[in-house]
Amino acid sequence: MSKHIIVDPITRIEGHLRIEAVIGDDGVVKDAYSSSGMFRGIEAILKGRDPRDAGLLAMRICGVCTGTHYQRSIEAVEHAFNLKIPKNARIVRNLIQGALYVHDHVVHFYHLHALDWVDITSALKADPAKAAKEALKWSNTPHGAGEGELRAIQERVGKFVAQGRLGIFANAYWGNKHYKLSPEQNLIAVAHYLQALDMQRDMAKMMAIFGGKMPHPQSLVVGGVTCVQDIQNPARIAEFKSILNKSRNFVKNAYMPDVLMAGTVYADEALDGTGAGLKNYMSYGDFRLDDTGFYTSALLFPKGVVLNGDLSTLYPLEQEKITEDVSHSWYTGGGDKGLHPFDGVTNPHYTGMEKKADGNAYIKPNEKYSWIKSPLYDDTRVEVGPLARVVVGLAAKDPNITKYATDFLTELGNTLGLGKAAPASVIFSTVGRTAARAIETNLMADVMMGWVDELAANVAAGDHSTWTEFDFDAVSKDAKGFGMAEAPRGGLGHWVVIKDGKIENYQAVVPSTWNAAPRDYKNRMGAYEAALIGTKVADPEQPLEILRTIHSFDPCIACAVHIVDTKGKELAQFKVGTSCAV
């Protein structure tokens, strides 16, 4: 008999996400639903505010992709006012955002996702001498994986286990047969997990150098940046570069090798396309590389849309084609097929769950079942995120992305003994989604070294400009604009309508909204839901494979659900449990 399981809350993510899945007799997921039980908000409180303040409020949408909403909001207002920012401001914004990618992706791989691939308890059985040799298979210069270092880490973790103090490692699905790394490989990954805790602290400092603080940097303003002293101080720029260089070494000698190792061991799940899902990908493009202006600059990540996994055709991105549908979301007023964000509305309408005979409350799949809206591009469901950026980059024949992706596929082909590069189609999978995140981190860490030098050279040449002056009263009478670019988790857009110096409407359509969305008005699945279909679950009591695929998207539900009921009505009652899976 098929089994209907609830995984709620999904842990090791930001926010509150529930997955319900129907698993057939053959252990394969036949149906899946993604539901957010969290309701919060920002969009509504922005109405009536001064648009110059929007960024400071909008950034409170999330402290994980910290600073991204801030920047996007400020760009939306700059776009509405048709403002160009100085070169120093563009580079500094790129450096803050680039540092976020490096930090966020490393934290995601090790601290949120690794335990879906790595069995900590197995690492205790490893032979550290053998593990040190194993590390040399995946990197010529492995990070922190010498025999002595590995032995020390094994002893440290062993002591915790012996005392029954597993702490952050408690309650996982240890021993599940879908863990495939050897004890030695597990030990390498555990070592890097712990080392990454230190590394990420330094990576966060990069954002603070130009952002003033972290999380929630505060050095951006409409028209430019305020970190004038930091830009003019060569010691600050040098400090940034030194941390970046250290981070880059970690990415190249720990993160990339570990992803290659996991990709090789779990290659069957990449080759058979487990977790592929929609196979429609969208990137807004990001990281302006010149100062020609809004949506005309050359970009590090190209923009566009790829449909049905067909890398031979890149469709142009047209922002008018974006809508948000609420047919299966706890809102009213979305129109028949959804609304463009300039016209978007946010009217909460909670219709509840259904209590069944087993005592559990289930979502009502044919009705509304999530606080997340369903964004559509040209009436199509799409996936956003690192994988979408790599796919769009490949379809655009972008030289950087093609090189970094091809290098990875070549190495994977070698480690799999294929005698040639692994086929590009392996990226259409859960493993591929995880690899794409590492591939772009590697690229980002390299290009940022050049951006730091560009900033230093520009300042040294005497350009100290950081802000473009503008006449607020003149430009803010009747304006609208959008900030559309990429956050670590995918395409992020803020749309603002301004009348007589005040915000009249504000809508954010966020990466995790695209990916974690429920079904739409045509009953088509969202990206998480589609990615789960066809996944083989070894043990429904331990739905490790469901976590693996969902985590490969790096969910952030605070971002995805960012609206508020301004009247303070009670919208739903929640009972919070402590178990990891129900």
Binding site for ligand NFE (CB under 6 A): 14, 62, 64-65, 68-69, 487-489, 492, 510-512, 556, 558-559
Antiparallel, parallel or unpaired: β 29-36 and 17-23: antiparallel
**Region of 87-95, 383-391, 501-509, 551-559 interacting with Mg ion (CB under 5 A):** 501-509
Give the separation between CA 470 and CA 222, rounded to whole angstroms. 9
Least distance in angstroms from the C-beta of 507 to Mg ion:
5
**Region of 61-69, 329-337, 472-480, 502-510 interacting with Mg ion (CB under 5 A):** 502-510
| CB closer to ligand NFE out of 200 and 512 | 512
Residues 338 and 326 sit within 8 Å (Cβ to Cβ): yes
**Contact pick of 412, 508, 532, 561 for Mg ion (by CB under 5 A):** 508
Give burial (CB, 10 Å; 0-12/13-18/19+) of 478: exposed
Least distance in angstroms from the C-beta of 259 to ligand NFE:
19
| CB closer to Mg ion out of 139 and 513 | 513
Give the separation between CA 411 and CA 428, rounded to whole angstroms. 17
Least distance in angstroms from the C-beta of 493 to ligand NFE:
9
| CB closer to Mg ion out of 39 and 138 | 39
Least distance in angstroms from the C-beta of 547 to ligand NFE:
18
Least distance in angstroms from the C-beta of 524 to ligand NFE:
20
Give the separation between CA 237 and CA 95, rounded to whole angstroms. 11
Beta strands in 414-531 (DSSP E): 478-487, 490-499, 502-509
> How many CB atoms lie under 10 A from the CB of residue 282?
28
The closest alpha carbon to 372, from 10, 24, 1, 40, belongs to: 40
| CB closer to ligand NFE out of 105 and 178 | 105
Least distance in angstroms from the C-beta of 236 to ligand NFE:
26
| CB closer to Mg ion out of 10 and 508 | 508
**Region of 238-246, 276-284, 427-435, 504-512 interacting with Mg ion (CB under 5 A):** 504-512
Least distance in angstroms from the C-beta of 142 to ligand NFE:
29
Element spanning 374, H or E:
strand 374-377
Give the separation between CA 67 and CA 50, rounded to whole angstroms. 19
Is the alpha carbon torsion for 202, 204, 210, 215 positive or negative?
negative
| Interhelix angle 430-460/399-415, nearest 10 degrees | 140
Give the separation between CA 323 and CA 333, rounded to whole angstroms. 13
| CB closer to ligand NFE out of 110 and 266 | 110
Q: Which does 58 bind (CB under 5 to 8 A by kind): Mg ion, ligand NFE, none?
A: none
Residue 257, φ and ψ in degrees, nearest 5: -60, -35
DSSP character string of 418-449: -SSPPPGGGGSSHHHHHHHHHHHHHHHHHHHH
3-state SS class at 347 = strand
Q: Which does 62 bind (CB under 5 to 8 A by kind): ligand NFE, Mg ion, none?
A: ligand NFE
Give the separation between CA 393 and CA 283, rounded to whole angstroms. 9
Give burial (CB, 10 Å; 0-12/13-18/19+) of 571: middle
Residues 291 and 452 sit within 8 Å (Cβ to Cβ): no
Q: Which does 487 bind (CB under 5 to 8 A by kind): Mg ion, ligand NFE, none?
A: ligand NFE
| CB closer to ligand NFE out of 68 and 370 | 68
Q: Which does 14 bind (CB under 5 to 8 A by kind): ligand NFE, Mg ion, none?
A: ligand NFE
The closest alpha carbon to 311, from 416, 402, 441, 430, belongs to: 402
| CB closer to ligand NFE out of 41 and 86 | 41
3-state SS class at 281 = strand
Active site residues: 14, 62, 65, 69, 489, 512, 556, 559
Residues 537 and 28 sit within 8 Å (Cβ to Cβ): yes
453: its two tokens? 């030098």
Q: Which does 559 bind (CB under 5 to 8 A by kind): Mg ion, ligand NFE, none?
A: ligand NFE
Q: Which does 512 bind (CB under 5 to 8 A by kind): Mg ion, ligand NFE, none?
A: ligand NFE
Cβ-closest residue to Mg ion?
A: 508
**Region of 27-35, 55-63, 93-101, 508-516 interacting with Mg ion (CB under 5 A):** 508-516
Provide the H-helix boundaries in 67-114: 68-81, 87-107
Residues 202 and 149 sit within 8 Å (Cβ to Cβ): no
Query: Does the footprint of Mg ion cover residue 516 (CB under 5 A)?
Result: no
Distance, C-alpha 14 to centroid of its chain: 11
| CB closer to Mg ion out of 275 and 493 | 493
Least distance in angstroms from the C-beta of 506 to Mg ion:
9
Least distance in angstroms from the C-beta of 66 to ligand NFE:
8
Q: Which does 68 bind (CB under 5 to 8 A by kind): Mg ion, ligand NFE, none?
A: ligand NFE
Site residues (vs Mg ion, CB under 5 A): 508
